[in-house]
Amino acid sequence: MEKNESTTKEILKFYFETGKKPTEAQFSEFLDSYWHKKESIPKEKIEGLENLSLDFDLLWSPASKKLSLTDAQGNVLSEISLQSLDNEGTDLRYNTATASLELYNADNELLDSIPVSDFVNNVGTQLALNSNILQLKDSKGNVLSNVMFAVSNIGGLQTALDAKAEKTVAINTVSPLQGGGNLSSDRTLSISQSNTNTSGYLSNTDWNTFNNKFDKPSMGANYLGRWNGSTFINSLLQDNGTSSGIGSNNYNNIIWSVDSSSKAALIAPRMTQAQRLAISLGTIQAGAIVYQTDGTAGYYLWNGSSWGTLGSNIATADLTNTQARTFTQNADFTWNTLGNAYFLKGLTDQTGNLTQYGKVLRIDPTTKQIAIGDSLEVAITIPDNLTVNSQTTNVNYTVNHVYPDPITPLPKNLIDLKNFMATIRNNQYIQLKDNDFVIQKVDELNRVSVINGTIFFNSVAADTVATQLSVNSNIVMPSDKNWVVVVSSSMSPHVNYWKGGQIGFARTSNSNGIQQPEIGVLKGDDDAFGFQGYGMYANKQISTKATIIYVKVGDVLSITVSYSDGTIYTANTDALTFLGDYRFVICQGHMWNVDLLPTFSNIRYYIEP
């Protein structure tokens, strides 16, 4: 504000002399000549102020640790020593990890700290949403404040939501998503439809589609579902609440079962021997199974301490069956003892019961094949009775050979026969095989075959003319040695049905051509059924089986026929050794009823060295 500088004090005094009456203008001049206490006086109006220096600096000396006040010319106006402030806090920091205030000095050393909680209380540090309530809590979890989230608590929210829904008409008052019926029984869900076309809600058509699409799946009882891309269907798995499995699982006390009539059940983990041995198992894993693919391939079972093969090694434990069991052999079975002893213990001794136990085991000395054959008890009456134990039949039998029409043997014949019969027990018999027989015939009819050492005769038409045929053995029975030949017949023949049928030995050096037996000849019985010859007439039934034993000792040929009904017939004849060696022969003529034809099997021989 500009002041009136032209009016002097003398003039102002003149305005206010005694008796004078100052005018308004004079009063204004008076007031404008002075500064009011509330007015700022410009520095230009203060005389000598321009000569004063107001430029000051604060200087810090690290060496002397002094703070100095200097003027514009650098003159020290004042100073203060800060030596006493060394190692004092110069920096205050907040540590978020410990929620503490920390005081540091100039060298960044922590001097002291204090938790904020020691002097700050009731300060919100966390927000928590509890249902529809937002809670503000302090550091100790105390609730400081609650905010209720509801549409009515927020001004204008309902209006904004109504605008977003673009609702044009009211919808049903029921909840949009509700249980369809009883959820505890039919497990269905349905959604309400709008009572008119309403944006954001299901129309009548969509509502029906929704309910049909999300209805409960149609599945069988106890089946687990399988998603086939559009719906749930029955899977292979079933669970009836007490047992589970694939296929039928209605098995009591079975937790898991696999049932199928067309597919295999399980495949165990397949691995090499090295992989199997690398598995670390203990007692708790006893019962684990794997399938080894190399080495000795097969299933292996962990017994809690070691692995063992399944089905190939039974030596790890003794076996005992608690009920009668049957082992069915569908292929050849070989038990290789590798030279170790093989024992059958506890067998019943049936030495004297040949009627019930008329069969014995026989062993092929070459192939070691075990077969079954008839055992015999033969009675032969000679000057004295003798008992011979036969290894062939594995039984003891007494031979009482009665010579009905004795030849004129020297006593040496009888002695030789007796001594030879005493050694039969130790004989090793050889079974005749298919390639030991030669079939000789002149027609093309298939009337005979040899299968597994058994000779079968086939019938021909009743009006077909069939000539005689013979089955000749390749094995030569020497005339200068003692020997035994045994053959079994499946039935007792009749001469009228076994036409041309004969059994015995041909005197020839080869097996070529149709041959007929010349010594030891037996034919079918002509009165009933059985083998007839040398005064023996059996008179048997056709179903009666027979075993024929030829024993040649020196010049004597002993013939014994033992029937399955327990009867035995014997005869002896001259061996006619001067005619040469022997071949076993069976002949057959015309036959049209195969049911009346015998088969011959278990043909075996022994030749004394």
- The pLDDT tens digits for 248-294 are 766 777 777 888 878 887 788 999 999 999 999 999 999 899 999 99
Torsion angle in degrees (nearest 10) through CA of 178, 179, 181, 183: -170
190-194, 348-352, 429-433: least confidently modelled range: 190-194
Tokens 């027989």, located at residue: 437
Q: In terms of Cα–Cα distance, which of 397, 401, 396 is closest to 383?
A: 401
Q: Give me the residue spans of the domains in the chain.
A: 90-149, 158-213, 223-258, 270-309, 432-607
Q: What is the pTM of this model?
A: 0.37
Separation CA 305–CA 287 (nearest Å): 11
Percent share of the chain, pLDDT over 90:
12
> 2.60.120.200, 1.10.260.40, 3.50.50.60, 2.40.390.10: which CATH number matches 432-607?
2.60.120.200
Beta strands in 326-410 (DSSP E): 359-363, 370-374, 386-390, 395-399
- Which letter, b or e, does each residue of 104-113 get, where b requires 16 or more Cβ atoms within 10 Å of its Cβ? beeeeeeeee
Q: In terms of Cα–Cα distance, which of 504, 516, 473, 488 is closest to 573?
A: 504
Tokens 């009591």, located at residue: 252
Separation CA 298–CA 300 (nearest Å): 7
Strand partners, 524: 531
Residue 558 near residue 551 (C-beta atoms within 8 A): yes
If phi > 0 it is left, if psi is from -120 to 50 it is alpha, else beta; for residue 19 that is left
* 36-63 pLDDT tens trace: 777 877 777 777 666 655 566 777 777 7
Lookup: tokens for 214: 């999300």
Torsion angle in degrees (nearest 10) through CA of 207, 213, 214, 219: 150
* 197-243 pLDDT tens trace: 666 666 666 666 666 654 566 777 777 778 877 777 877 787 877 78
Within 10 Å of residue 504's Cβ, how many Cβ atoms?
Answer: 22
Residues 6+ apart with CB under 8 A from 20: 14
Beta strands in 375-447 (DSSP E): 386-390, 395-399, 430-431, 437-440
**DSSP labels, 517-580:** --EEEEEEBSSSBSEEBTTB---B-TT--EEEEEEEETTEEEEEEEETTS-EEEEEEE--GGG-
